[in-house]
Amino acid sequence: MRATTQDSVAEPVRGGLLDPAMVFRSLPAALRKLDPRTLWRNPVMFIVEVGAVWSTILAVGKPSWFGWLVVFWLWLTVLFANLAEAVAEGRGKAQADTLRKAKADTIARRLRDWSPGAPGVEEQVPASLLQQGDIVVVEAGQIIPGDGDVVEGIASVDESAITGESAPVIRESGGDRSAVTGGTIVLSDRIVVKITQKPGQSFVDRMIALVEGANRQKTPNEIALNILLAALSLIFVFAVATLQPLAIYSKADNPGVPDTVALGGDGVAGIVLVALLVCLIPTTIGALLSAIGIAGMDRLVQRNVLAMSGRAVEAAGDVNTLLLDKTGTITLGSRQAAEFIPVGGVTPEELADTAQLASLADETPEGRSVVVYAKETYGIRAREPGELTDASWVAFSATTRMSGVDIDGRRLRKGAANAVAEWVRSHGGIVPTALGRIVDGISAAGGTPLVVGRVSADADGQKAEVLGVIHLKDVVKRGMRDRFAAMRRMGIRTVMITGDNPLTAKAIADEAGVDDFLAEATPEDKLMLIKREQAGGRLVAMTGDGTNDAPALAQADVGVAMNTGTTAAKEAGNMVDLDSDPTKLIEIVEIGKQLLITRGALTTFSIANDIAKYFAIIPAMFVALFPGLDLLNVMRLHSPQSAILSAVIFNALVIAALIPLALRGVRYTPASASKLLSRNLYRYGLGGIITPFIGIKLIDLLIQLLPGMS
C-alpha cells in the first residue's frame, strides 16, 4: 500500500517583523499571558501587573481622569510586553504549522524476521505505532514513516518538507549518508530502513516543539539576568513602599502645604506610587528579554538550522575556537585547473588547446575545469565531443592512469606524471628534465599535477613529446580569507581540519588565511584538539556528519551536525544544519554573538532611560514639600500629573517601539569586544539617556491638550 499525504508542503512563512496580520494573530496569546500563573515567570512584568491591578482597584474607588489614564497605560505596558513574546512565538508557530504538513497518518510496511538476504514477513501498521529497532520497507512514491538508517538499498529522497530544498538527495546503506527522516518521500528505487526514533520523538516532532518555543529552556545568562532584574525590582518595591509614610510624616510637619498628587488623601497617592515603581524598575529589558531569546532561535530556523536548546545558541556567541573541515567548507571540494605550465618551447596557447581537447569527454569536475579554464584564460572555444565526428575518445582507466583523444592523426593524452612520461618514452620521445621540477613543485604546494603529452606524425616520422603540466588545486572558496579575517577581529581562532599531508594542509591554510591547521586528522585527533582548547578555557564549535565525528561533536560546546549525516552525528550535536552546508557554522557564530549583543544593548538602554524618568517623577512628587527639587525638573514639565503620566506613557510606548529591534537583533559587525562595548555604550547608553528626555517632553506637550490637564 502506498503511503500518501493529503497536504502539500509549503515553504516556511517569512513575514515581516511586525506584520499586522502576525500582530493581530498574536493578540489573543498576549491576552492569555496576562494570567498571573503564566506571568509570574517574568518577575518584572509580574510586579507591573500586580501594580496595575492595585491601581485599577484604587481608580474604581475614586475615579479621576488622571487615575484612569495611568491605569490604562499600566495595563498597556504589560500587554506590550506579552505581545513581544507572543509575536516571537507566533513566528515559530507559523513555521511549525508548515512542518506539521509534513506529518501524515502514514501506513508503514513493517518487516518481521528480516535479516540481510532474508526478505522477512511484511505487515502494515500505522507509523505512530513503530518502535525503536523496527524494520520497514519504503519504495518509490512512498513516505518514509519514521526517522532511521538505511540498512539495505539505495534511493533518491525528496527532503523538501524538512529542508526546503527541492533537489533530491541520495540515501544508501553504509557510510555517512544512511540517515533518513520521517515525512520525507522516496522518489526512486527501494530501501529498507531501521527505525531509530522513539514514539512521538521523531525529528519533525522535535522541530515542531522547538520552533514553537514550547521546549525553550532559558540560557544561563538569561537566567542570571532575570535574577538580577528580579533583585533590582524587589529593592525598588521596598524603596517605594517607604515613600508614603515619609510623605505623610513630612506633611504633618508642614500643615500649610497643600495636597499634592502624591501626598494628599485624594485617592490617587497609591496610583502615583505604582507609577513611580513601574518607571523605576527595568521594565524595558524585562518585557523584551524572552522575545530576544526566542527570536535568536527563530533566526537560526530561518537559516535552516535547528538548535536543540537556547544554551547552544548562546554558547555560539561565546565561541573562541572554530574547527572547520577543509573539503567543502574552506575549499570547493573538487580540484580545479589553476594554471597551464608549458615545457620544451611549447606556447601556453598550444598547451591550453591540447589540454582542452584531451578533456572534452572527461565529465569529472577536474576535467570540466580544464575546459573552462582554457576557454576563460586563453579564449579557446569550448567544443563539444559531438562536434568532432572523427575523434576517438580514450576513457580514463586505473591501469593507464590517462585519458584523451585521437584526432587528425594526433594522439593526445593527459594524466598522472609518471604514466604520461612513460607513454611518451614508449613512443620514442624524450621527457624534459624540467618536468620533474615542475611536478615536484606543484605537489609540494599542495596541488595535483597532470601532464599533457602528444604523439603526432610529420614528414620525418612519428614525434612524441611532453607539452606541459596542468596545475590542479583544491580551490579556496571566494571570500573565505575575508571571513576568517572577520573572525580574527571578533577574537575567534580558526583551525582547519584535513586528512591531507602537512605540506598540502599548510598551503591551503596559508591561502585561506586560517590561524592554524590539523593535518592527517583522525577522529581521535579531533577529540584531543577540542579537549586541549577547552582545557585552556576556550569554547569550541565544529561541524561533522559521520559516525566517527560523533565523539567530537558531543565534546564540542557547539556541535553542528549535517542533516545528510548519520543518526549518531545528529544525536551527538546540539544543532542540526538542514542544508548540510559546513560553512554555515560561521553564520551560526555570528547569530549567537548578535543574540548576546542585542540582549546587552537593550539592557543598557533600559537602565539608561530610567534616568529621565527619575527627573520626571521624583520632582513632581515632592516639589510641594521640598521646593528645591524643582531644580531637577530640567524638562520643565507642565504639572506633577502631566510629568507622572508622561513617564508612564513613554515607559509603555518604548517597549512597543523596541519589539522590532528585539526580533531582528542589533546589527552585528565583526570587531573586538572592547570596540563593541564602546560602540554599544555610546549608542544605547547615551541614546537611552537622551531619547526619554525628548519623548517625555513631547508627550507632556500633548497631555496639556487633554481636559482637566491644562
Residue 2's pLDDT is what?
36
- Residues 362, 348: Cα–Cα separation, whole Å: 21
Residue 217's pLDDT is what?
56
Beta-carbon contacts of 97 under 8 Å, excluding residues fewer than 6 positions away, are none
Rounded average pLDDT over 612-637: 69
For 31-142, strand residue ranges (E) read: 107-112, 121-126, 135-139
Q: Which residues pair with 331 in a beta bridge?
A: 327, 476
pLDDT digits (tens, 9 = 90+) for 154-175: 888 887 766 655 567 788 887 6
- Residues 66, 223: Cα–Cα separation, whole Å: 37
Instruction: Determine contact, residues 187/150, Cβ cutoff 8 Å.
Output: no
* Of the listed ranges 6-15, 41-50, 500-509, the one predicted with least confidence: 6-15
- For residue 528, count other CB atoms closer than 10 A to its CB: 14
Residue 255 has pLDDT above 60, yes or no: no
**pTM, entire model:** 0.66
431 SS3 class: coil
Residue 167's pLDDT is what?
62
Residue 247's pLDDT is what?
61
- For residue 460, count other CB atoms closer than 10 A to its CB: 6
pLDDT digits (tens, 9 = 90+) for 184-241: 888 888 899 998 877 766 666 666 665 555 445 566 777 788 888 888 888 888 877 7
Name the more confident of 457 and 33.
33
The verdict on whether 325 is a catalytic residue reads yes
Residue 157's pLDDT is what?
87
- For residue 234, count other CB atoms closer than 10 A to its CB: 13
What kind and span of H or E run contains 404? strand 402-407
Residue 18, Cβ density class (10 Å: 0-12 exposed, 13-18 middle, ≥19 buried) = middle
467 SS3 class: strand
Name the more confident of 121 and 397.
121
* Of the listed ranges 131-135, 536-540, 560-564, 661-665, the one predicted with least confidence: 560-564
DSSP state of 675: H
C-alpha cell at 611: 534616568
Report percent pLDDT > 90 for the chain. 12
pLDDT digits (tens, 9 = 90+) for 353-392: 999 998 887 877 788 889 889 998 888 876 776 677 788 8
Residue 100's pLDDT is what?
60
Residue 340's pLDDT is what?
93
Report percent pLDDT > 70 for the chain. 83
Residue in this structure with the C-alpha cell 572554530, named with its chain if needed: 322
DSSP state of 501: -
C-alpha cell at 14: 517569512
Q: What's the mean pLDDT when you consider all of the chain?
A: 80
Residue 567's pLDDT is what?
73
Rounded average pLDDT over 116-128: 82
Instruction: Determine contact, residues 466/453, Cβ cutoff 8 Å.
Output: yes
Q: Where are the domains of the chain?
A: 106-211, 318-331+476-586, 335-475
- Residues 288, 606: Cα–Cα separation, whole Å: 10
Name the more confident of 607 and 117.
607
Instruction: Determine contact, residues 552/541, Cβ cutoff 8 Å.
Output: no
pLDDT digits (tens, 9 = 90+) for 302-326: 787 877 766 778 788 888 898 888 8
Beta-carbon contacts of 333 under 8 Å, excluding residues fewer than 6 positions away, are 327, 474
How would DSSP label each residue in 469-497? EEEEEEEEPTTHHHHHHHHHHTT-EEEEE
Q: Which residues are annotated as part of the binding site?
A: 362, 366, 396-403, 414, 545, 549
DSSP state of 416: -
Q: Which residues are annotated as part of the binding site for Mg(2+)?
A: 545, 549
Q: Does domain 335-475 have CATH number 1.10.132.50?
A: no
* Helices and strands counted in the chain (H then E): 24, 21
Residue 470 has pLDDT above 90, yes or no: yes
* Of the listed ranges 119-128, 240-249, 250-259, 691-700, the one predicted with least confidence: 250-259
Name the more confident of 683 and 580.
683
* Residue 10 pLDDT grade (very low, low, confident, very high; cuts 50, 70, 90): very low
Residue 438's pLDDT is what?
92
For residue 474, what are the CA distances in angstroms to 143, 508, 581? Answer: 38, 8, 18
User: Phi/psi class of residue 205: alpha, beta or left (left: φ > 0; alpha: ψ in -120 to 50)?
Assistant: alpha
Residue in this structure with the C-alpha cell 537556547, named with its chain if needed: 310
Q: Which residues are annotated as part of the binding site for ATP?
A: 362, 366, 396-403, 414
Residue 102 has pLDDT above 60, yes or no: no
Instruction: Determine contact, residues 553/537, Cβ cutoff 8 Å.
Output: no
Q: Does domain 318-331+476-586 have CATH number 3.40.50.1000?
A: yes
Instruction: Determine contact, residues 64/55, Cβ cutoff 8 Å.
Output: no
For residue 697, what are the CA distances in angstroms to 35, 282, 637, 693? Answer: 34, 20, 7, 6
Report the top-level CATH class of 106-211.
Answer: mainly beta
Instruction: Determine contact, residues 301/164, Cβ cutoff 8 Å.
Output: no
Edge-to-edge strands, sheet with 516-518 = 305-307, 575-577, 558-562, 540-544, 321-325, 493-497, 516-518
Instruction: Determine contact, residues 312/574, Cβ cutoff 8 Å.
Output: yes
Instruction: Determine contact, residues 496/514, Cβ cutoff 8 Å.
Output: yes
User: What's the half-sphere exposure (Cβ side, CA atoms, 13 Å) at 685?
Assistant: 8
* Residue 455 pLDDT grade (very low, low, confident, very high; cuts 50, 70, 90): very high
- Residues 365, 337: Cα–Cα separation, whole Å: 10
- Residues 159, 402: Cα–Cα separation, whole Å: 38
What kind and span of H or E run contains 366? helix 365-378
Rounded average pLDDT over 128-147: 86
CA quadruple 618, 620, 625, 628: dihedral positive or negative? positive
432 SS3 class: coil
Residue 523 has pLDDT above 90, yes or no: no
Residue 465's pLDDT is what?
92
- Residues 610, 686: Cα–Cα separation, whole Å: 12
Rounded average pLDDT over 587-615: 85
- Residues 64, 67: Cα–Cα separation, whole Å: 5
pLDDT digits (tens, 9 = 90+) for 261-294: 444 444 457 888 888 888 888 898 888 888 887 7
Residue 244's pLDDT is what?
66
Query: Degrees (nearest 5) of the Cα angle 11, 22, 105?
Result: 45
* Residue 394 pLDDT grade (very low, low, confident, very high; cuts 50, 70, 90): confident
- Residues 380, 371: Cα–Cα separation, whole Å: 9
* Of the listed ranges 48-62, 144-158, 253-267, the one predicted with least confidence: 253-267
Q: Which residues pair with 691 in a beta bridge?
A: none
Question: From the candidates 147, 149, 325, 557, which is the catalytic residue?
Answer: 325
